[in-house]
Structure 1
């Protein structure tokens, strides 16, 4: 079968190649990019509603789990060989160096939280399969418009076996971090 001449060939990057593009200045530090399944994707600007929800999520996690885990806000996770997303919040193993020597990998991550006010299709269609394939045990997508949190657990292949949607009257209880409870209403 011949290649379709109407589709331009694409180069898929590895994490190492992507990081090198940043080091040599091809990707400027003040631009927002992430590597998703080998493709460099521009990140949406952060609006005030999105920022407010990220702050609420972060503050709730700090109150419940500070000192026991690392809580990283809008920082990369290294998912080899071809992804380096920048989730809104990542709960990972605590490390003495605060990940100054290397970004967390899938083995370090307990929970990924994506706040979605305009990126639901990307979060569900692209990021969820990447997180599942990497074995990230739990992902929350905070749906700002619907005021619902979609909780994904039990990764299998490129999806999660269990997906629950929790609304304003419900309480979030991460399966991967002990003694944490967050009322969904606290996030909105």
Structure 2
């Protein structure tokens, strides 16, 4: 038999020590979905992007790294980066205040471009970047709808990647400082 969980129940299980706070999973429609392990390419790129974003983000915006992004009462995901307006703040982060999600895919490309991208789109997150950790090709998704994102593009590592949801945010992956 399957059991549908809520975000509140999962948080209570973590507080009680029943689920380890470092266990990697997401809650999708009440179902616990294990997350893939992170490879070294994922971690190197995440740290380089973190340094870049922290030093170049326009002042009106902020981002969180690997935060629990609560979508509704029975769903949360953990994007590598999630961007929002400074005025909204992290405490008010939800699908209506999120502007851009960035996922780094080492072993999770199929999931990130498939079901997870549809989840972001269904909750109305305006822009999604899925970065292939090894090739550094970026799959850009914009204009969310019920069936996913209506605008789909690929950007190579030597092309500038410019956000439409976070004005002034850009990166060219080939120029990132190595960590």
Give the gaps of 5 or more residues in structure 2. Answer: none
Please list, as runs of the form range in 1=range in 2, the aligned pairs for 1:5-154 lying within 5 A after superposition. Answer: 9-65=1-57, 67-94=59-86, 99=90, 102=91, 104-154=93-143
Higher-Rg member (1/2): 1
Please list, as runs of the form range in 1=range in 2, the aligned pairs for 1:172-187 lying within 5 A after superposition. Answer: 172-186=161-175
Report how many residues are paired. 177
Q: CA deviation at 1:164?
A: 0.3
1:157 to 146, 152, 168: 146
Residue deviations 1:116-154, cap 9 Å, x none? 010012212221111001000000000123320000000
Moved more, 51-60 or 29-38: 29-38
Q: In structure 2, how many angstroms separate the alpha carbons of the residues matched to 1:86 and 1:63?
A: 22
Q: In structure 2, how many angstroms separate the alpha carbons of the residues matched to 1:30 and 1:169?
A: 35
Is the CA contact 1:35–1:41 (under 8 Å) kept in the aligned structure 2?
A: yes
Is the CA contact 1:133–1:159 (under 8 Å) kept in the aligned structure 2?
A: yes
The runs of at least 4 aligned residues of structure 1 exceeding 4 Å deviation read none
Residue deviations 1:74-106, cap 9 Å, x none? 11111013221111111112258x63xx46211
Query: SS of 2:72's equivalent?
Result: coil
Q: In structure 2, how many angstroms separate the alpha carbons of the residues matched to 1:37 and 1:121?
A: 19
Is the CA contact 2:41–2:134 (under 8 Å) kept in the aligned structure 1?
A: no
Is the CA contact 1:77–1:103 (under 8 Å) kept in the aligned structure 2?
A: no
Q: In structure 2, how many angstroms separate the alpha carbons of the residues matched to 1:130 and 1:64?
A: 28
Give the gaps of 5 or more residues in structure 1. Answer: 1-8
Larger strand share, 1 or 2: 2
Is the CA contact 1:56–1:186 (under 8 Å) kept in the aligned structure 2?
A: no
Residue deviations 1:37-58, cap 9 Å, x none? 3211222333321111111222
Q: CA deviation at 1:184?
A: 3.1
